[in-house]
Amino acid sequence: MGKVYLVGAGPGDPELITVKALKMIQKADVILYDRLVNKELLSYAKKGADLIYCGKLPNYHTMKQDTINHFLVRYASSGKLVVRLKGGDPFIFGRGGEEAEACAKKGIPFEIVPGITSGIAAAAYAGIPVTHRDTSSSVAFVTGHKQNNQQEDEKWESLSKGIDTLAIYMGVSNLPYIKEKLIQYGKCRDTPVALIHWGTTEVQKTVTGTLDTIIEIVKEEKIENPSMIIVGEVVRYREKIQWFEKKIVMSEAL
């Protein structure tokens, strides 16, 4: 019997991967990797390792989740060390819980190797602390996918009234809906918002505005997925402590 490691590859910058995650990549017989995994990390795989792409785009899945689960079980059952390499953290909108369940159901040994999620890292690289003693004592990780039901409204009401900072994943296409719900349930129109495109990478681009203005700014700047959306007063700190994009500009100038 082999073993499955559900490994977080981090937010994009290959240097942000954990030591344990890198060791697992180096040992793996099989690596099933996602679209947002920095391909530089695959160069650490040992010679002869099988590298299987199973990335997903919005509204288009290269490999269905059931197929991924099947591969994890099949390869581990044949005695191989299998790494499921996922962007960010396996358990934060990475469907790692489903994959762990699939292994457990078939009696496959597995471990979870957490990774740095974009909700924290992209914000930090944009100069935005998701918590701050003076401004934010709570942060929520939120999916930006739209669901038309009563629970969805209850979710947005709770988020609008009870959480200081929102880190919203996969929400660019639904930004008008997100804006509508947040304002509907109590967020001020002048609440600061940032979108961070390809956070922590050399092509990172950040735009800021308010709930009232952000949609037009995103259109003008042509911001698309993958992007993190940060909503809350903490966005204002970017003006003082942004650092990474300044570093990119200085590097390009040299």
Q: Report the distance separating Cα 84 and Cα 72, nearest Å.
A: 8
Which listed residue (29, 34, 80, 187) is catalytic?
34
In the numeric block, which tokens belong to residue 221? 């700047």
Our answer to whether residue 63 is catalytic in this structure is no
DSSP-derived pairing of the beta strands 139-143 and 165-169: parallel
Which listed residue (3, 56, 106, 155) is catalytic?
56
Residue 234 CA from chain centroid, whole number: 19
Helix residue spans in 78-213 (DSSP H): 96-105, 118-125, 150-162, 175-184
Contact 225, 35 (CB under 8 A): no
Our answer to whether residue 56 is catalytic in this structure is yes
Our answer to whether residue 250 is catalytic in this structure is no
Which listed residue (23, 155, 164, 170) is catalytic?
170
Residues 6+ apart with CB under 8 A from 119: 92, 130, 139, 141, 167, 169, 228
| Residues with a known catalytic role | 34, 56, 170
